[in-house]
Structure 1
Amino acid sequence: MYVSPMLLNKVDHPFEDDSYITELKLDGIRIIWTNFNNKVRIYTRHNNEVTSIFPELATIDLPEGTVLDGEIVVPGDGGKPDFEAVMERFMSKKSNHQIQYCVFDIIYFNGEKVTSYSLPQRKELLDEIIPEENMNIGTVRWIYGNETAYFDLIKQNKLEGIVMKKAYSRYEVGKRSDSWLKVINYQYEDVFITGFRKGEFGLLLSFLNHEPAGMLEFMPPDDRKRIYSSHKVVSENQNFKFIEPIKCHVKYRNLTKQGKLRIPSFVEWL
């Protein structure tokens, strides 16, 4: 039984508030795990069933009538989530990456909806039922408050960010709520825009040393208009028009293993 997950809103900076809990934002794939009629089914947040992709999660011993919310990760160097590895596992049956399902919430237990429980109550229930001996599943650790110190630690270790959740909020099925907030640990870079994709919007980026930096797809409409009105085309091929370089400032999640910017978005012109 698929349940549409609760979604997060975004804030730019953490703030101190002991009425929130703080936990690590995991860099993986959001997964809803269900066991109804003694049949385990696993779904992405967009209601795509992926049970066959993660067979090691289909044999987890949890009560019938349970629905869990969490993130599948592949632990990489130093235990840090490796997003490219988890996507490789997701896309290829030949991948042998070891996954872990990191559970941060419970929606149903024994066939009863528990969304009205407070978040600490739901966390306590998870601690009671998640089997400690199964290395493929675990619970996400959390603390009250300490948002700024936690985020500073995240930045030092180059992790994705933190999540701040109102401690006594209910689980809001299928809603994006201010009760859950994410703070992304963005990285920043000065780059050149060197071209744009024909058709669907996308800008080619290069680092200041002219090495390829990836594709930018997130830019405000007014700034898009500026690109199209002020660029000077120097060449083109079937898919791209190449322009005289334009310098700008972008933010991104991290560098990929190929040394390119992951999910860059426009910040300002330089």
Structure 2
Amino acid sequence: MFISPMLLETAPGPFSHSNFIYEPKVDGHRLIYSQQAGVVRLYTRHNNDCSRQYPELLIPFDDDIILDGEVACTDPSTGLNDFEAVMSRFSTRQHSKVQQLIKTLPATFAIFDILQYKGQDLRKLPLMERKAILHSLNFPSRSFGVVPHIEGAGEALYEQIEAMGMEGVVGKRKDSVYVSRRSKDWMKVINWSYADVYITGYRKAEFGWLVAVPDTLGKLRPVGIIEHGPSSKHKQAFRGVCQQLVTGHDKDYVYLEPKIQARVKMRNWTKSGLLRIPVFMEFII
């Protein structure tokens, strides 16, 4: 049984409030763990069955249950969540390769909510009552754990998260019921990284600006595509300038002299040196 998850609104910045608890934001992908009549199925937030990708999480609890959390992998060199490792697990379907990855990139289920247990729907209970039930469970293996939380001190937690290079903080209202939609009762604060880039082209079809940064020799290397952030005024200003800078084109892209510079925020740099989810902030003049 799948339950559509409760989604986060974005807070303008770190905040503290006595009516909220705060959790580290786990850098993985959302997972609904559903055990019905003793049979376990795993679902993404979009109701895609991903049970065969994570066989180490198909272990049943002592009774039927539905849990909400994130599936994550840990980088052994840093001890931090490794998003690219999780995506590698998620994209692998072949049984023999999955069995290898269980050993080299083991998945863990970081649980932060319980939605059903022993046939009871718990979603209308206040969050702190659901947390108490969650903390009382016996977990079936070491692949399962509860995301820790603190009360009230959101800004202090964010400072620690920022210093450790983790993804961010989630603030949740203590009395919040569980709703299958986006809600201001749950707020995320992302620990963004920043970079200055050159716009080297644009996509002909849907919106996208190609961007690059100088390498150690000063030569520009591509680092991804900006798809989010610019306002209609930013796009209009870009269109007014870019036609003078065209150097060529192909089926999908128009290429430009690297004269336009922009600042972006992003989740982090990927291991292959690309921007992860870059968001345009401003032009650099």
TM-score, length of structure 2 as denominator length: 0.90
Aligned pair partner of 1:178 in 152, 163, 184: 184
The answer for the alignment partner of 1:206 in structure 2 is 212
Deviations 1:126-173 (A, max 9, x none): 111141x6121110000101111110111111110000001111111x
Where does residue 234 of structure 1 map in the other structure?
Answer: 247
Q: Distance in 2 between matches of 1:142 and 1:195?
A: 44
Q: Is the 8 A contact 2:168 2:188 kept in 1?
A: yes
Within the alignment, does 1:10 sit opposite 2:10 as a pair? yes
Q: Which residue of 1 aligns with 2:197?
A: 191
Displacement of 1:224: 2.3
Instruction: Describe how 1:150-189 pairs up with structure 2 within 5 A.
Output: 150-172=157-179, 174-189=180-195
Higher deviation after alignment, 8-17 or 96-105: 8-17
Whichever residue aligns with residue 241 of structure 1, its letter is V
Aligned partner of 2:92 in structure 1 is 92
Q: Matched residue pairs, number?
A: 267
The answer as to whether partners of 2:23 and 2:170 remain within 8 angstroms in 1 is yes
Note the 1:210-225 alignment, pairs <5 A.
210-218=220-228, 219-225=230-236
Question: Structure 1's 148 and 239: CA in aligned 2 closer, same or farther, altered over 3 A?
Answer: same
Q: Which residue is 1:83 aligned to? A: 83
Give the match's secondary structure for 1:81. coil
1:107-186 residue pairs with structure 2 within 5 A? 107-131=115-139, 134-172=141-179, 174-186=180-192
Q: Secondary structure at the match of 1:72?
A: strand
SS in 1 for 2:157: helix
Q: Tell me how large the CA RMSD over aligned residues is.
A: 1.4
The match for 1:22 is 22
Q: CA deviation at 1:30?
A: 0.1
Q: Does the 8 Å contact 2:9/2:188 carry over to 1?
A: yes
Whole-angstrom CA distance in 1 between matches of 2:15 and 2:272: 34
Identity rate, percent: 37
Matches of 2:138 and 2:54, distance apart in 1:
18
Which segment drifts farther, 121-130 or 1-10? 121-130
Query: Which secondary structure does the structure 2 equivalent of 1:258 belong to?
Result: coil
**How big is the shift at 1:225?**
2.9
SS of 2:233's partner is: helix
User: What CA deviation, in whole Å up to 9, does each residue of 1:199-253 have, x standing for no partner?
Assistant: 1221111114422221111133332233233202111122211112211111000
Q: TM-score, normalised by structure 1?
A: 0.95
Q: Distance in 2 between matches of 1:23 and 1:243?
A: 44
**1:161-203 Cα distance to aligned partner (Å, 9 max, x none):** 000001111111x111110000000011111111112212211
Q: Given the superposition, is the C-alpha separation of residues 261 and 130 from structure 1 closer, same or farther in structure 2, using an over 3 Å criterion?
A: farther
Alignment of 1:31-110 (within 5 A): 31-64=31-64, 66-76=65-75, 77-93=77-93, 94=97, 96=101, 97-110=105-118
Whole-Å separation in 1 of the counterparts to 2:26 and 2:48: 20
Confirm or deny: 8 A CA contact 1:100 1:137 kept in the other structure.
yes
Give the superposition deviation at 1:125: 0.9
Q: Is the 8 A contact 1:130 1:138 kept in 2?
A: no
Q: Partners of 1:54 and 1:168 in 2: how far apart?
A: 33
* Consecutive unaligned residues in structure 2, runs of 5 or more: none
Q: How far is 1:17 from its partner?
A: 0.7
Q: Is the 8 A contact 2:199 2:209 kept in 1?
A: yes
Deviation at residue 21 of structure 1 after TM alignment: 0.2
Give the whole-Å Cα distance in 1 for the aligned partners of 2:166 and 2:232: 30
In 1, Cα distance between equivalents of 2:236 and 2:81: 37
Deviations 1:8-44 (A, max 9, x none): 1001211121210000001101011111122211110
2:281 to 259, 267, 270: 267
